[in-house]
Chains A and B, each alone.
Chain A
């Protein structure tokens, strides 16, 4: 794995190129172009505000913000693992014809989605501040950490799904259902406290690596407090575990990519 990471560093220009191309190409034909990166989340926020403050009222105050700070990181995660599962298959001409560390493909995909999330998070910050909230500076220090943890978590899972998709093409479509189900099993749209009644369900919930990540995001951005230590520890451990697992599985499966594609 160390060897692979070293090689990936040598190929950094290729990753940068891929990410740039993806970000540039995303809104290429549209009139507003790159501005969509910011407009899109704002419009989403508008819809959520309308729906949850007028039609579907629930007990949580400022629900739109409660949802918004967690939804943006979730969208990054979901895009990575479902969209990213096809990233090797879609580059089949390159994989069968030239050598480069195959990990470049999932890494580029996840990185590009990550950069997109970072840009969107500027909007989140703007909204949080403009609605009259003051962020806790110490809590904010933990934001980069949790973002990096989420990045590696997404990367690990994308490595696995993208490699498996080469051998089993349906996975790409199955993953979109899986991510949808996963979203409901993660406290994105609700608070984890609704499970206070059943500790057994709660244990299962915490086995979901994204639970800790989303809780941490919300602690920092919505409750303006430092995440609990055990939340952080679980998140970091899960991130590391999935990264190692991802690289190992990808490394095994990549040997026959050129033949399967």
Chain B
């Protein structure tokens, strides 16, 4: 029995590692970007200048080798050239340099229902569509029932496809594409249509086909799907290969890049906001500024305590910057890690002391925790007119969810200067077990039952 098992494993390995299905070497592709294209004779003759074009290199040397039975995911941001690459693999387009070698029949799902004729019935479209993949009538006849069954369109198969919903379209197109006995299947971001059940069914079928030795190349923005389904990955960035190999590694590299991008965008946004606030151009800020801030004669009694932001405005909060454990600007934190809130302030009327406070609330406004500098017995003297007070949480013991951050400044008499209930929201992600809102430090111990019996 164990011998059989070994033999089986051997066969499996052989199948998936010996034959090259796709080999692309040094693929370069350029597009002509016409400044103002004229197609007709008149335009061509009269406006020579219009036919000027810029050449834009979309792919600048991509290599890819896919073995039979492998699934490869192509990753990259919009416009990075991954769809172009897929079109080159499918021979819809040809590379300007380099070579694509394909072993076997290719089936592709690049555009939803391309080649469907809206006036023909689903059944007739199966024939035309399968013929586009190079099947003869006899071959299609043999597969017709499988195709209809998989598409779950039994009741609609004789209706014209123009009456179909986009989900039904996709189901029919997918059913045809996977039933044409292709050796290689190319898929471009179309599984997004269709309900979750059908999607799951598709992936189940794809896994089955993969086991049978079908080679699959997928383009998708759904990194999770790619990570789960593919063996290998290729991340294309600016027309070059940024990372390739085992899917885990490629996905990690890509995620890291995305995180950096997000970070940079966030920092830019915060910098812009700070600038706006400092120069007093922030409309959002102005709108939210309570009336009492602008009125120097206002007293404690004038304060509208029900407002989201209230106070006398002798000292105001100009900005709060949230930072994660690495000190990077972020609004998403991990449970158990450090996070900090830089509270930028401005003092308009000096006082002996101004006390900073904070609170964290759940989305349903339930106060989880709140404190201030006086409660904590911390020094409260402020050195200048403007500055930053940082509030740090060393071990964020919140569970996954979204939380509200409130911030406040009060004076020594506890008169609110700037009380901001819903300053901002932040997210917490947790990879630890347990449910609820907070992580409570705990332990489990199993006592020896017999011993206990003996004791009593």
**A93 nearest in chain B by CB position:** B114
B137 touches A97 (CB 8 A): no
B115 touches A98 (CB 8 A): yes
A binding-site residues for B, Cβ under 8 Å: 7, 10-14, 16-17, 21, 93-100, 168-170, 174, 255-256, 258-259
What's the A-B contact tally at a CB cutoff of 8 Å? 69
Return chain B residues, CB-CB under 8 Å to A174: 41
Return chain A residues, CB-CB under 8 Å to B110: 97-98
Instruction: Let me know if B366 is at the binding interface, CB within 8 A.
Output: no
A170 touches B40 (CB 8 A): yes
> A10-B134, A94-B115 provided; 6 other pairs, C-beta below 8 A?
A14-B131, A16-B137, A97-B110, A97-B111, A99-B106, A168-B44
Q: Which of A10, A13, A17, A170 contacts B41 (CB 8 A)?
A: A170
From B91, B94, B131, residue with most partner A Cβ within 10 Å = B131
B128 touches A17 (CB 8 A): yes
B90 touches A99 (CB 8 A): yes
B19 to chain A, nearest CB (A): 21
- Give CA–CA (A131, B118) in the complex, Å: 47
Return chain A residues, CB-CB under 8 Å to B87: 258
Instruction: Let me know if B47 is at the binding interface, CB within 8 A.
Output: no
Q: Which of A7, A17, A94, A98 contacts B127 (CB 8 A)?
A: A17
B binding-site residues for A, Cβ under 8 Å: 31-32, 39-42, 44, 87, 90-94, 106, 108, 110-111, 114-115, 117, 127-128, 130-132, 134-137, 140
A94 touches B114 (CB 8 A): yes
- Give CA–CA (A93, B117) in the complex, Å: 11
- Give CA–CA (A168, B135) in the complex, Å: 33
Q: Which of B31, B117, B132, B135 contacts A98 (CB 8 A)?
A: B132
Given contacts A96-B92, A98-B108, A98-B115, contact A13 B135 (CB under 8 A): yes
From A10, A98, A174, residue with most partner B Cβ within 10 Å = A98
Return chain A residues, CB-CB under 8 Å to B128: 14, 17, 21
Report 24 cross-chain contacts, Cβ distance below 8 Å, ordered by A residue: A7-B134, A12-B136, A13-B127, A13-B136, A14-B128, A14-B131, A14-B134, A16-B131, A17-B131, A21-B117, A96-B92, A97-B111, A97-B115, A98-B92, A98-B111, A98-B114, A98-B132, A168-B39, A168-B41, A168-B44, A169-B39, A255-B94, A258-B92, A259-B31
